[in-house]
């Protein structure tokens, strides 16, 4: 039996990976259970000396600091010896790393599970990474990193740092998506109302409510647990007959500040939400097949009385001619907020225009509209 692993550098090319007989027997006999462990923990299997050499590069990639406003790491790395692999092979995130033919136990292990084709790709430098989903457990990501020398391996991982990080962030979002989305716990009546009146929809969990609906501003605000110490909210704002030229960093920041100043106010209307100047980053991303700008940063009231992290996706929809802004924010001063902001990020990615919905789904939501 063989396993096929796909290289992230060339998705059209499948790499054959031979697994030890023990794992083949176990996989053949037992149905895979769900991967377990912390969502943000990566188990790194490496020789102690080799891990010491490459730890700084791995931390630079996977241990990136985000500010919420507390400093939090995207992932934490837990080093293990290869002999412990059977004990931890059911974890969500695993990296196996070693230079080729270094003589370490991990290097020997990697050589034992790859065939000559993969060995040649590693030796020539054409490949340095293999990734495999659901290898020993459902919802799992296993990544193997190798190169002819440690120096080349360190260079390869740094040059491809965004791609490597994306692999684990993507599967983490998918796992969270599966946990969050449930037809049993969705507000179909709110989703149906939005779809009917505005031609788009976003998943609304049972504990969210429609806080503001302002058609004159093309603005919808969904809010969870207002006034509590763990509040989350999402807003969608759109501009009709927009120009694609709006899709630049300065315009996105200006549009967000303009709409939050008008609509996200304290009850006495004396303070409003605005973007904090520090810890802000805008990146180009693919949002459901559309070019988009993703902005991550901090918000605060203009009087600095409150604040927290936000994530924002802005894109131009060619079919409708609309500029869309999808935004999720957190206010949870007593808690770490990395996992909370990931949750609203995943909710934002549930956004669909009417054209992206099946007829059955549209009928289901429209039938749920309350009289």
Domain ranges of the chain: 3-180, 183-367
Q: In the prediction, which pLDDT does 3 show?
A: 34
Which pLDDT value is given to residue 4?
31
For residues 204 and 226, which has the higher predicted lDDT (pLDDT)? 204
Total number of residues shown for the chain: 371
Instruction: Count CA within 13 A, CB hemisphere, residue 3.
Output: 22
Q: What would the pLDDT profile of 100-145 be if each residue is shown by its tens digit? A: 989 999 999 999 988 889 889 999 989 999 999 999 999 999 999 9
Least confident span in 15-19, 23-27, 92-96: 15-19
Instruction: Please give the average per-residue pLDDT across 204-214, as a whole number.
Output: 95
User: If pLDDT is split at 50, 70 and 90, which confidence band does 370 have?
Assistant: low
Q: Write down the pLDDT at residue 116.
A: 87
CA angle 83, 85, 91 (to 5 degrees): 160
pLDDT tops 90 at residue 279? no
User: Average pLDDT of 12-39?
Assistant: 57
pLDDT at 17 over 50: no
Average pLDDT, the chain: 90
Share above pLDDT 70 across residues of the chain, in percent, rounded to a whole number: 91
pLDDT in tens, 166-184: 999 999 999 999 888 888 8
Which pLDDT value is given to residue 66?
Answer: 86
Fold entry, domain 183-367: Protein Transport Mog1p; Chain A (3.40.1000)
The structure's pTM equals: 0.83
Stretch 278-303: mean pLDDT: 94
Statement: residue 19 has pLDDT above 80 = no
């Amino acid at each position: 039996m063989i396993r096929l692993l796909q290289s992230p550098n060339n998705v059209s090319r499948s790499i054959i990976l031979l697994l030890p007989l023990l794992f083949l027997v176990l996989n053949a006999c037992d149905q895979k259970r769900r991967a377990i462990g912390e969502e943000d923990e990566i188990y790194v299997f490496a020789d102690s000396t080799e891990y010491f050499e490459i730890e700084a590069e791995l931390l630079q990639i996977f241990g990136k600091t985000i500010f919420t406003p507390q400093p939090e790491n995207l992932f934490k790395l837990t080093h293990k010896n290869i002999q412990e692999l059977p004990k931890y092979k059911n974890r969500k995130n695993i990296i196996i790393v070693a230079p080729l033919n270094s003589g370490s136990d991990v290097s020997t292990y990697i050589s034992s599970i790859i065939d000559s084709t993969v060995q040649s790709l590693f030796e020539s430098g054409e490949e340095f990474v293999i990734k495999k989903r659901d290898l020993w457990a459902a919802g799992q990501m296993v990544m193997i990193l190798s190169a002819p020398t440690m120096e080349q391996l360190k260079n390869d991982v740094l040059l491809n740092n965004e791609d490597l990080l994306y692999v684990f962030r993507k599967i983490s979002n998918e796992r969270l998506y599966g946990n969050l989305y449930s037809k049993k716990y969705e507000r179909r009546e709110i989703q149906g109302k939005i779809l009917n009146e505005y031609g788009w929809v976003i998943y609304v969990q049972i504990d969210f409510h429609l806080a503001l609906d302002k058609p004159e501003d093309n603005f919808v605000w969904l809010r969870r647990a207002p006034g509590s110490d763990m509040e989350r909210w999402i807003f969608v704002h759109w501009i009709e007959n927009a120009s694609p030229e709006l899709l630049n960093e300065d315009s996105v920041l200006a549009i967000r500040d303009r709409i939050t100043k008008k609509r996200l106010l304290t009850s006495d209307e004396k303070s409003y939400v605005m973007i904090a100047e520090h810890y802000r980053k805008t990146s180009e991303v693919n949002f459901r097949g559309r070019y988009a700008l993703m902005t991550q940063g901090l918000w605060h009231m203009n009087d600095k009385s409150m604040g927290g992290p936000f994530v924002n996706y802005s894109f131009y929809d060619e079919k409708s001619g609309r500029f869309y802004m999808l935004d999720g924010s957190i206010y949870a001063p007593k808690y770490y907020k990395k996992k909370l902001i990931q949750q609203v990020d995943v909710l934002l990615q549930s956004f669909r225009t009417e054209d992206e919905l099946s007829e059955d789904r549209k009928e289901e939501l429209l039938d749920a509209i309350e009289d």
